[in-house]
Structure 1
Amino acid sequence: MFPVLNNAIFQFVMKFLIALGDAAFDNLPVIFAVGVAVGLAKREKGSAALSGLLGFLVMHNILNFLLSASGKLVDTTGMESTQAKLALANAMQTKVLGIQTMDLSVFGGIIVGITVYFVHKWAVKQELPAVIGFFSGPRFVPIATMLCMSVVSVVIFFVWPIVQTGISIMSVAILKSGPVGTFLYGLLERALLPFGLHHGLNWPVRTTELGGSWIINGEHVVGTVSAYLASLADPKITAIDPTITRFNGGKFVYFMFGLSGAAYAMYKCADPEKRKIAGSLLFSAAATSFLTGITEPIEFTFLFVAPALYAVHAVLAGSALLVMHLLGAGVATPTGHGFINLVIYGVLQGDKTHWWLVFIVGIPYFFIYYFVFKFMILKFNFKTPGREDSGEVHLASKKEAREKIGVQIQQVGTDEPQEVKSSYPPIDFSKLSKEEKTHELALRLIEAHGGPSNITDVNACITRLRIDVKDKSVVDKNTITSQLEAMGFAENGMQMQSIYGAYANVLKMEIQEILGIGE
């Protein structure tokens, strides 16, 4: 497609990067096994990680043994690679880390991770008799995991074929649902977001047979992510199958354009004297959504002030998926539906993705969101940023939005945070180097969370800095959002969550280094 790129050095570098990517996408099940175990474990995460890997290996070795002993193990000796893969697929078998086993996809990794979590939670506290006391605590977890996973594997051997049949039936039903199913998926996915349940809908579709099953370049591929990447890699495919991207392509439309239109509508509806402050917040949130696909700051803002606006947003989101599906759009991304990923996974892939449809559909959706939101805000006098009765202008946090609509998610404790005055004078972070800014922010975040003695753990997800505290009443959330550049703030029990986008992980590591603590 691009003759200028056809040189040996560039091709070597790009194929090298593809090999790096394949290392992750080809091994998602084992990554889930280790990742879920580590993510759920509250302490001794190293022991949990080792047990996750060991449990995964035990499960598939036991399944291989049971398939062989029962005569169900497919013999692929003498078959060509393509024939062997199809024969395994027809028998619901596959090879994982070189082990021929039942095809559990990422469900297998999730089962292992959750099992290891419960085993780890119990085993890490056990004190064994003195003669074998060396194996107490974290050392006992892998041993207990092996025993427990052997039992779980036997259960899976008998139960999974029934589950797999059910998944196949659901997959066919989803694929046959057509454009109406695409619209309902988009509507439901946004509707589940306030409850934190949207990942339960997204990831099975992206990574398992629930999202569909295709034969691409002679290989059996399940899940929309794997199917999309396989389609990009197959030079014989000139247009991506829209059934692969039907739950994905329309998200670029409302992540990049729709929510930007909503932000502009809220800015235009702000009181003139508050418009400058509201604009700086709203346009920052809109830019984050447009570039990276991180939508929380803006979505939870209008969910908080007016659930009716969010309901309209959910309908418009479903319609965006529907329109892109009907137009035959073939653009998708593993995650993050922003401009950066559109360029990487759409534009640079050429005509086969029909990436231009994002702009053809997106620009009208900008104006649809703008006029619909502006009409509703003015008609019903919704208190969007810049229209508040108080003098404060801010974006609502996830916690505020959920409390407004009555959603409770693992809340522990009842004390409300109290305002705490910072001993640090205000500072212009733009005058500091990146390293100085990170260090200064880390110091001030430590103080804003009550100081080192009040902090029990520091972690981060993709967009959030997560700091566990002993006493949340001394946490200064106002300083965090107004002076320390957080895009939002939320609580989950004694865990304080500050939204910093991709910067969250950098701050996490700096705070850990200052406090002298590890993961």
Structure 2
Amino acid sequence: MKTTIFGILQRTGRSFMLPIALLPVAGLLLGFGASFTNQTTIDSYGIQSLLGDGTVLHTLLTVMKSAGSVVFANLPLIFAIGVALGMAKKEKEVAAISGAIGFLIMHSTISAMLDIHGLLAPGALPDGALGMTLGINSLQMGVFGGVIAGLGVAALHNRYYRIELPTTFAFFGGTRFIPIISAIVFTGVGILMFFIWPAVQNAILHLGDLVNNAGYAGTFIYGFTERALIPFGLHHVFAMPFLQTGLGGTQLINGVAVSGATNIFFAELASPDTQQFSVEATRFMAGKFPFFLFGIPGAALAIYHTARPEKRKLVLGLLLSATLTAVLTGITEPIEFSFLFAAPLLYGIHCVLAGISFMLCHIFNVGVGQTFSGSLIDFVLFGVMQGNAKTHWINAILIGIPLFPVYYFSFRFCINRFNFKTPGREDDTDETKLYTRKDLDARKQNSGESEKSQSRDDVSALIISGLGGADNISDLDCCATRLRITVLDESLVDDSLLKSSGAKGVVRKGKGVQVIYGPYVTLIKSSLEDCLGGTA
């Protein structure tokens, strides 16, 4: 049972990556547009002639603001499509359109049920219970509605996309059956949600109140748990409800009830009336900036200084690349996995310090939001450029500065005290460093093979072999940095073969296998799919 739950959760977390990957671009559009069309900002910097109403730049920035806003306004539909696409094993495009159909029909059915029972009238339901979804006045389900539709459609799709109907109805068989069955099923789901969701809505809001009432301790627990789930690839599953639903709070902004920490922040960003960003919303985001921008570089420096002298030059290149990736893009897995598998204790310290970072940002009213991650770009755009009066971004710097030596000295002490085999300290016969393609070539040279770099097909063949053969692979996909595979027989998986393909690490939980490569994992996945298709 645990294996099944893990497999479902890791695939669900993976399916969130497509819509989540859209948020940085939408956030940049909205961020630049809202920042430089805000009259207060224009007046403060005396740039009325450059950015004032009627200028070319003002027109362009207004368009950017609108383009970014529409993404955040329609995230539920985007998640319905993205989750259905990500969870589908084959014929993904059919699952995507069926996800949209299921989502629309579910909300239309809910709206009809509300109308029949006279609940669309003003005051019939509590404030915030209703919301407009693509012009449909329905229950405010937020991203949860999209996830429900996406998961339901994906389950129908994976079961029926090869269905054979009697000759008379054969035209409607196969993939054509999926939007049909989705429409029928989600009419029923809509009726069911009419009765269930109000109770769920109240439970979510009460749970959000419980987290909020826990105050600073609740913020620490959130930050600690979010980091602790990174190795299992389940951090998106944990964080998304806080960022996108009433679990992260609900606020009335310009007369509109907005739920979810991310949605509250960007609604405030778009509002010209915002004097200070809500810390109760940004406490689920702001805590990343101090340890992303200061803590992780401190850890990297400790790993470098504790490396063997003859290996420091190599380690410097690896750590510099991984650290810059973390700081500039917010993708921290390359540096985190460099010490996770060699020294889990260090990762435990990292999780505790991350929780403290979140808590301190809450205590000192840091109101900096984010889109995809706590990168330097997000910090400048949504913190510095918004002004210290609105975000208290300087406090994030003041929290981050002492985090650097705390990370550095705690990591350095533990590495030396317990002789952890972090990058650059490994034995010559037992490498535990960050792997690159050059490392893979070196392995082949040492074993007497060709000095030419291994081709993608060779890497794919090695991965397939490490997974127990093509027949043992039930499901294959990837997220930002790792392959996510479901296998039929986990005993056939060979970790050493997978690591020899250039993987930084392998995470296994029953039939769920995650092989970590880094940002170029999509190229590996594409080559792997081609190879698997060729063997089919």
- TM-score by length of structure 1 reads 0.81
- The answer to whether 1:21 aligns with 2:68 is yes
Distance 2:461 2:516 in 1: 14
> How much has 1:91 moved relative to structure 2?
6.1
The one-letter amino acid of 2:409's match is: F
Q: Is the 8 A contact 2:265 2:281 kept in 1?
A: yes
Which of 361, 382, 406 is matched with 1:368 structurally? 406
Segments of 5+ residues of structure 2 without an aligned counterpart are 1-40, 436-442
Worse overlay, 301-310 or 205-214:
301-310
Distance 1:504 1:89 in 2: 46
Q: How does 1:421-460 map to 2 (within 5 A)?
A: 425-426=451-452, 445-446=459-460, 449=463, 460=478
The one-letter amino acid of 1:6's match is: L
Which of 305, 309, 313 is matched with 2:342 structurally? 305
Distance 1:135 1:15 in 2: 46
Q: Which residue does the alignment assign to 1:377?
A: 415
Q: Which residue does the alignment assign to 1:287?
A: 324
- The answer to whether 1:49 aligns with 2:116 is no
Q: Is the 8 A contact 1:231 1:237 kept in 2?
A: yes
CA shift in 2, pair 1:460/1:127, >3 Å: same
- The answer to whether 1:318 aligns with 2:355 is yes
Q: Which residue does the alignment assign to 2:299?
A: 262
CA shift in 2, pair 1:346/1:422, >3 Å: farther
Q: Is the 8 A contact 1:422 1:448 kept in 2?
A: no
- The answer to whether 1:359 aligns with 2:397 is yes
Q: Which residue does the alignment assign to 1:201?
A: 238
CA shift in 2, pair 1:389/1:357, >3 Å: same
- Deviations 1:145-182, CA, capped at 9 Å, x for gaps: 11111222221111111111111111111112111211
Distance 1:149 1:184 in 2: 36
> How much has 1:33 moved relative to structure 2?
1.0
Larger relative contact order (CA 8 Å, sep ≥ 6): 2
Distance 1:499 1:135 in 2: 41
- Deviations 1:221-249, CA, capped at 9 Å, x for gaps: 11000111111122222221211111211
Q: Which residue does the alignment assign to 1:407?
A: none
Distance 2:497 2:232 in 1: 26
Q: Which residue does the alignment assign to 2:11?
A: none
Q: For this pair of structures, how many residues does the alignment match?
A: 469
CA shift in 2, pair 1:347/1:488, >3 Å: farther
CA shift in 2, pair 1:443/1:14, >3 Å: farther
Distance 1:343 1:422 in 2: 50
> How much has 1:469 moved relative to structure 2?
10
> How much has 1:374 moved relative to structure 2?
0.9
> How much has 1:462 moved relative to structure 2?
2.8
Distance 1:3 1:463 in 2: 44
The one-letter amino acid of 2:408's match is: Y
Worse overlay, 206-215 or 456-465:
456-465
> How much has 1:446 moved relative to structure 2?
5.0
- TM-score by length of structure 2 reads 0.78
Q: Which residue does the alignment assign to 1:121?
A: 158
Segments of 5+ residues of structure 1 without an aligned counterpart are 76-85, 398-417, 428-439
Q: Is the 8 A contact 1:274 1:393 kept in 2?
A: no
CA RMSD of aligned residues (A): 3.4
CA shift in 2, pair 1:475/1:31, >3 Å: farther
Distance 2:196 2:506 in 1: 43
Q: Is the 8 A contact 1:281 1:395 kept in 2?
A: no
Distance 2:394 2:157 in 1: 49
Q: Is the 8 A contact 1:278 1:394 kept in 2?
A: no
- The answer to whether 1:71 aligns with 2:89 is no
> How much has 1:216 moved relative to structure 2?
1.7
1:305 is paired with a residue whose SS is coil
2:287 is paired with a residue whose SS is helix
Distance 1:54 1:174 in 2: 34
1:330 is paired with a residue whose SS is coil
Q: Which residue does the alignment assign to 1:388?
A: 426
1:90 is paired with a residue whose SS is coil
The one-letter amino acid of 1:249's match is: A
Q: Is the 8 A contact 1:465 1:500 kept in 2?
A: no
Distance 2:518 2:173 in 1: 40
Distance 1:473 1:309 in 2: 26
Q: Which residue does the alignment assign to 2:221?
A: 184
Q: Is the 8 A contact 2:498 2:515 kept in 1?
A: no
Q: Which residue does the alignment assign to 2:51?
A: 6
Distance 1:275 1:332 in 2: 37
> How much has 1:115 moved relative to structure 2?
0.9
Which of 366, 378, 400 is matched with 1:329 structurally? 366
> How much has 1:500 moved relative to structure 2?
3.4
CA shift in 2, pair 1:512/1:381, >3 Å: closer
Distance 1:109 1:141 in 2: 17
- The answer to whether 1:275 aligns with 2:320 is no
Distance 2:233 2:516 in 1: 17
1:215 is paired with a residue whose SS is strand
Q: Which residue does the alignment assign to 1:93?
A: 130
- Deviations 1:119-163, CA, capped at 9 Å, x for gaps: 112221321110111111101111111111122222111111111
> How much has 1:311 moved relative to structure 2?
1.6
- The answer to whether 1:238 aligns with 2:275 is yes
> How much has 1:331 moved relative to structure 2?
0.5
Q: Is the 8 A contact 2:426 2:433 kept in 1?
A: no
